Amino acid sequence: MIITDTHTHLYSDAFIDDRKEMVQRALDLGVERFFIPAIDSSYNKAMFELEGMFPDHVFLMMGLHPTSVKENYKEELALVESFLSERKFCAVGEIGIDLYWDQSTLGIQQEAFKFQIQLAKKHQLPIVIHCRDAFDEIFEILDEENDEQLFGIFHCFTGTLDQAEKALSYNMKLGIGGVVTFKNGKIDQFLNKIDLKHIVLETDSPYLAPKPFRGKRNESAYIVKVLEKLSELYGVPEEEIARMTTQNSKDVFKI
């Protein structure tokens, strides 16, 4: 059984003391594919080092995270553009809009999001979307950019059934992680109405650990708890959930 974690920040300082051991715990459970989102240039060195440590298992994205869209965003976007031209990445991400932390940067977040969608199209790559308190704003831009070249993953999906169906209309998969195990997460109430062909698994580690680890540091090994919950919701064996979601990730990332 091969399990795929489509979104994990394995380079995080949260793993500075036990990174290799943490990855090995996941590998021992069958988690063999780790897709690594970018944040900004300050993390690039750590990302590339991680890839060097686990070249057969780690696949890097490139992009500018919306919470890193600050005064220097044009310089950061120029670096993203340069890296995408220089070497292979699996996606442009994570990109999007985040209005939870700072609403004053909405204008430049929108600009950065559009620019990076267009970069993804240029390089025939998927996008991986970060959306927090910004579904309407995200959908507005996806409406503008919607065409046969647009595809990717709506990372850490936490919206409603209507929002899920709208996200799927843009040729997106839904990234499902620890929130599906939360008592107040709500997506467990409708997720089985979404065909499994639209679902990929993720942890977003070190964040959003699933039950029974909620509130603690998340890690990729804990994706098995997400797998167990989806097996329960869909009434499908865990092995089949793993197979289908891994195939879905292959369809998106072409790896």
Alpha-carbon distances of 23 from 2, 20, 179, 188, rounded to whole Å = 15, 5, 22, 28
Q: pTM (2 decimals)? A: 0.97
Q: Which domains does the chain have, with CATH numbers?
A: 3-253 (3.20.20.140)
Report, in this order, helix, strand and coil percent for the chain, each rounded to 5.
50, 15, 35
- For the stretch 178-230, pLDDT in tens is 999 998 889 999 999 999 999 999 999 999 999 999 999 999 999 999 999 99
- For the stretch 14-32, pLDDT in tens is 999 999 999 999 999 999 9
204: closest CA among 35, 22, 63, 68?
A: 35
- For the stretch 83-138, pLDDT in tens is 999 999 999 999 999 999 999 999 999 999 999 999 999 999 999 999 999 999 99
Phi and psi at residue 173, to the nearest 5° = -90, 160
Round to whole Å and give the CA distance between 238 and 128.
25
Q: What is the rounded end-to-end Cα distance, in angstroms, of the chain? A: 17
